[in-house]
Amino acid sequence: MLTAFARAFKTPDLRKKLLFTLGIMVLFRLGAHVPVPGVDYRNVQMCMDQTKSGQGLFGLVNMFSGGALLQITIFALGIMPYITASIILQLLTVVIPRLEALKKEGQSGQAKITQYTRYLTVALAVLQGTGLVATARSGALFGGCTVGNQIVPNQSIFTTVVMVVTMTAGTCLIMWLGELITDRGIGNGMSILMFTSIAAGFPTALWAIKLQGTLMGGWLEFSLVILCGLAMVALVVFVEQAQRRIPVQYAKRMIGRRSYGGTSTYIPLKVNQAGVIPVIFASSLLYIPALLVQFTGSKADWAEWIQRNLVKGDHPIYMVTYFLLIVFFAFFYVAISFNPEEVADNMKKYGGFIPGIRAGRPTAEYLSYVLNRITWPGSLYLGLIALVPTVALVTLNANQNFPFGGTSILIIVGVGLETVKQIESQLQQRNYEGFLR
């Protein structure tokens, strides 16, 4: 492993790409600590020391921003608007024929969809920035903080516009940095920045668990969390790499005097075909009732029921609802992202068939059957992984940003594996052994 790292840095072009990627990551982390104009930074720090209520409600966005959301910096919105825009465009591709036609056009169509994603990202950034400024001005961002309503001392329209424009520009800059990594660096730029944001919170979260521990000065709890994290990483790597390979045989075709085809390949169907999207969908959906209660300030029976059952992550109703939503969205996302009929038609068009299965509709039914079978263990795995922070919250008295579990561990391991594979492929092009043996 160390030899492979040394060879990666000895290769001039690969070293340049790695250093460029690391430089962008450092710049991204610096921007996460620059306050937005108009914010009283001292009061923000005082509120973060006094209360942790913001972490439960805004924990998902705060995690994706690397802690910049609750500090109200220029990168407060993080990569979340771009992720939301990408998911929305992907869902609309199935519904809107124009987008579906663009997707089938290849690289030119994909470039057009990417342009639409950028426009939607800017619109969502303006919307989310306005909501964040309004929440900070009202004092609801840090509920229970004595100076919560003094985070934005000057509440004029000009100050509000400047704050929203600054955070929107920060989101556009993040989007540009991600595209720079994709073009000139290693790996997918947006995924690398997401990886950086989540990994930045690991040391603080781990040390907080040690400080809150009571056994052997907190070192016993700290060690248990580290062991749990290693086990989680091993499980995630095992499942993320698992796939069902469906064999495909292509018949020989004579074109002129040349013979084409006659090769054997396979269709790789991953056990976790949906990735981390179901966890993000389920988390976002469960935040909506809490946000509704917070902004309305209602004291009705339904509001109290939501506060009692759907706000605290350790409540059984919350845990069961969260688990069922993840399973549902796993099947939903797989259904819209993988079309068995389209795959079967393409196979039939190019003379491909699955041994023992007739081409056409029987092939589509077989692919759908296999996909449903392997999605069940994948969805259950996602639900169990996502509940690990809640279990840790109850057993270890950890905070709600427990590092090894849920969305964070899935993204960290997934992005790490893809990046290592890209480095390995470039090393093997130069007759070097890669990382994975």
Residue listed under structure tokens 């004579």: 254
- Homologous superfamily, domain 203-404: SecY subunit domain (1.10.3370.10)
3-state secondary structure (DSSP) of residue 353: strand
Q: Tokens standing for 360? A: 């056409």
Closest CA to 70 of 136, 154, 23: 136
- Cβ–Cβ < 8 Å for 141, 94: no
In the chain, where the domains are located: 1-200, 203-404
β-bridge mates for residue 265, sequence order: 248
The two counts, helices (H) then strands (E), for the chain are 20, 5
Tens digit of pLDDT per residue, the chain (437 long)? 556 667 777 778 888 888 999 999 999 988 888 888 888 888 887 777 766 544 445 666 677 677 777 788 888 888 888 888 888 888 888 788 888 888 878 788 888 888 999 999 999 999 888 888 888 887 777 766 766 667 888 888 888 899 999 999 999 999 999 999 988 888 888 888 888 888 887 887 777 777 776 666 677 777 877 887 788 888 888 888 888 888 888 776 666 666 665 677 888 888 888 888 888 788 777 777 777 776 666 677 777 777 777 766 667 788 888 889 889 989 988 888 888 888 888 888 877 888 888 888 888 899 999 999 999 998 998 888 888 766 665 665 555 455 566 677 888 888 888 888 888 877 777 665 655 65
- Cβ–Cβ < 8 Å for 122, 168: yes
The CA–CA distances, whole Å, from 192 to 78, 113, 133 equal: 13, 21, 27
Q: Which amino acid is at 412?
A: I
Residue listed under structure tokens 């095992």: 238
User: Helix H segments across 149-201?
Assistant: 157-184, 189-200
Name the E strands within 66-110. Answer: none
- Cβ–Cβ < 8 Å for 423, 435: yes
Which of 290-321 are b and which e, b meaning 16 or more Cβ less than 10 Å from the residue's Cβ?
beebbeeeeeeeebeebbeebbebeeeebbeb
What is the enclosing helix (H) or strand (E) of 352? strand 352-353
β-bridge mates for residue 255, sequence order: 258
CATH class of the 1-200 domain in this structure: mainly alpha
State the Cα–Cα distance between residues 336 and 329, nearest whole angstrom. 11
- How would DSSP label each residue in 378-423? HHHHHHHHHTHHHHHHHHS---TT-SSSHHHHHHHHHHHHHHHHHH
